[in-house]
Structures are given as structure tokens and as C-alpha cells.
């Protein structure tokens, strides 16, 4: 997947209030999205995408990473997922980062809750934080909720 960065594509942060944007306590912002819904052509493009799918995602014109994560499940390789989430969180400090799965709720919500933990939200409160600030149906399964509760924050 090609990397295109700079002011014309992906530079800077998402704005609060844009569809799917979650603003973390630090001020970092990340856009969550469901890939089954078409992308608004007028919406800003990300600099980096983290795609959580059971099979490789379609190509995008920005830098991207795929984490094998089947629908309604957990990541196939939890260490790889943690590394990918940490990179997404780091990059969200000054780049537009998108996190997406098929529907934009279960896997995306779980990943966003993990990003919130990396940002300092207590793991036991991260699911509610994402449901309140991103999508009230985010993090769909009991095992996704447990995954977030057991996810460790910075320095762990």
C-alpha cells in the first residue's frame, strides 16, 4: 500500500465532530470507520490506516497496516495487534489515523478502546469511553470487552 502524506493528504489531525472521529483525552484524534460504508469523497483522507479484517483489505492510496482479526473475534496475533495499536496511537499525535473493520463497531470499537487505554483511560473504563464518544454499540462481544479490560497502558 502506497504512502502519501503531507498537507494534501493525511497531514494534521482530525477535527472533533467529523463523522467517526474519537478525540482521546490527550487531544489525539482517530477516525473509526466501517469499510462496508462508502467513504465520503469530500472527507479528508488519512495519512495512515489500520485495518482489522479476517483477510487483507483492498488497497488504499495512503500508508496502511492490516491486522488479521476475524469478525466478532479477537486478533489472530495479539502481540502484532498490540504493536499495530501502539503505532497507530503514536502516529495519531500528528497524523490523521483511521481504524476500520467491516462494520466499524466491534473490532474498530475494540481497537479504539485499546487506543484509549494507551492514552491513559483506565482499562475498566475504556469501553464506556468509546461508547460515549464514538458509537454506543461499539465493542460488540463479551470477549472483546474482556480483551480491552486486560489491555495494558503505556509503559506496560
Residue-number span of the structural domain to which 145 is assigned: 21-37+44-150
Instruction: With a cut of 50, list the residues of the chain below it in pLDDT.
Output: 1-9, 156
Please report the pLDDT score of residue 9 as a whole number.
47
3-state secondary structure of 143: helix
Q: Does residue 2 belong to any structural domain of this protein?
A: no
Contact (CB, 8 A) for 69 and 57: no
Q: Does residue 94 belong to any structural domain of this protein?
A: yes
Please report the pLDDT score of residue 155 as a whole number.
52
Of 71, 93, 69, nearest in space to 81 by CA:
69
Please report the pLDDT score of residue 34 as a whole number.
96
Q: At 59, which CATH number?
A: 3.90.190.10
Q: Does residue 92 belong to any structural domain of this protein?
A: yes
Spatial separation of the C-alpha atoms in residues 61 and 2, rounded to whole Å: 5
The total number of structural domains that make up the chain: 1
Amino acid at each position: 500500500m502506497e504512502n502519501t502524506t503531507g498537507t494534501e493528504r493525511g497531514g494534521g489531525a482530525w477535527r472533533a465532530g467529523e463523522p467517526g472521529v474519537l478525540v482521546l483525552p490527550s487531544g489525539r484524534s482517530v477516525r473509526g470507520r466501517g469499510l462496508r460504508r462508502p467513504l465520503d469523497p469530500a472527507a479528508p483522507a488519512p495519512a495512515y490506516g489500520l485495518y482489522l479484517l479476517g483477510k487483507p483489505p483492498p488497497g488504499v492510496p495512503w500508508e496502511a497496516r492490516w491486522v488479521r482479526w476475524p469478525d466478532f473475534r479477537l486478533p489472530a496475533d495479539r502481540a502484532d495487534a498490540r504493536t499495530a495499536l501502539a503505532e497507530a496511537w503514536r502516529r495519531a499525535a500528528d497524523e490523521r489515523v483511521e481504524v476500520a473493520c467491516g462494520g466499524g463497531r466491534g473490532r474498530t470499537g475494540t481497537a479504539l478502546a485499546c487506543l484509549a487505554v494507551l492514552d491513559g483511560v483506565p482499562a475498566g473504563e475504556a469501553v464506556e469511553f468509546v461508547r460515549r464518544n464514538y458509537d454506543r454499540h461499539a465493542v460488540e462481544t463479551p470477549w472483546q470487552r474482556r480483551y480491552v479490560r486486560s489491555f495494558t497502558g503505556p509503559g506496560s
